[in-house]
Amino acid sequence: HPSILHPPSLSGVRVLVTAGPTREAIDPVRFLSNSSTGTMGFAVAEAAARRGARVTLVAGPVTLATPPGVERVDVETADEMLAAALAVEADLVVAAAAVSDYAPAEPSDQKLKKGEGDLVLRLRRTPDVLAALGERRRDGQTLVGFALETHDGDAHARAKLERKRLDWIALNVQGEPGAGFGTGTNRLTLLGRGGQRVEIATAPKAEIAAALLDVVTAAPHDAAP
Ligand code: CTP
Ligand code: CA
């Protein structure tokens, strides 16, 4: 991709990236989570830092190394991710985290012992980090979300774009070869608030990250109609 050789500068741009899963405690040794590896978010953080942006990466529990020049804030839960994200002043937000939508409502402070019967857990809704940022959005800020969908991808992703007041949403279709969780490559469709639809073909996540930054940081008049 040409932007890997001659990337446009993001010097002075403050970027917030959320990445990875969150973990919601059931008891001191057990949690609810998902299989996000954080790779896509880390790739976006790395690509933005390489272009000179001031990048804060709010990361759930992942095993990845911090990209060079990136300020990293580690969190575990959705509540912690919300607090960390709200503390960052950003011009561009890329929310790649797979935030758990629910958390055990009454986590046990002691390890649960098993009984004879089934266990019923009541779950509470966690805060929506990206929607909270959308509610606080200010002029000139660009908000980008991700949507991993298994069906009716465009419609679900567009609904999220509206609901969370985003500029762009990157749609991932789970089940497609070479896309989604745990793969080295990805394929995205970027849907814009102005009705834009930009396909980013299957490529290593570093190239996808560069292409995503190209699209979401282009001046509005550069964007495809
Ligand atoms: N997101 C977030 N906080 C949450 C849930 C989601 O910041 N509690 C962000 C994700 O990082 C992603 C976008 O919102 O950028 C869409 O996430 P997704 O899980 O696809 O959407 P939901 O609104 O949670 O809807 P659902 O899971 O029901 O499809
Ligand atoms: Ca969700």
Is the beta carbon of 160 within 6 A of some atom in ligand 1? Answer: yes
Q: What is the pLDDT of residue 3?
A: 58
Active site annotation includes 34: yes
pLDDT tens, position by position, 126-171 = 999 999 999 999 999 999 999 999 899 999 999 999 999 999 999 9
Residue whose C-alpha is closest to residue 192's, from 173, 211, 167: 167
| CB 215 within 8 Å of CB 189 | no
Q: What is the pLDDT of residue 83?
A: 98
* pTM score above 0.90: yes
Sequence-distant (≥ 6) Cβ neighbours of residue 116 within 8 angstroms: none
- The verdict on the CB of residue 130 being under 6 Å from ligand 1 is yes
Q: How far is the CA of 11 from the centre of ligand 1 (A)?
A: 29
Going from the first residue of the chain to its last (225 residues), give the mean pLDDT of each consecutive group of 10, the final group possibly shorter.
Answer: 71 98 98 96 98 98 98 98 98 98 98 96 98 96 95 95 98 72 80 96 93 91 50
Would you say the CB of residue 91 lies under 6 angstroms from ligand 1?
Answer: no
Neighbours of ion ligand 2 (CB under 5 A): 101
216 CA from centroid of ligand 1 (Å): 19
Residue with token string 């890997």: 4
CB of 101 closer than 6 A to ligand 1? yes
- Protein residue whose Cα sits closest to atom 18 of ligand 1: 147
Selecting among 3, 33, 34, 196, the annotated active-site residue is: 34
ipTM, 2 dp: 0.99
130 marked as binding residue:
yes
Distance, C-alpha 121 to centroid of its chain: 27
Q: Which atom of ligand 1 is nearest to the CA of 85?
A: 7
- Listed in sequence order, the residues at least 6 apart from 88 whose beta carbon sits closer than 8 Å to its beta carbon are 14, 16, 56, 58
- Helices 39-50 and 205-217 cross at an angle (nearest 10°) of 60
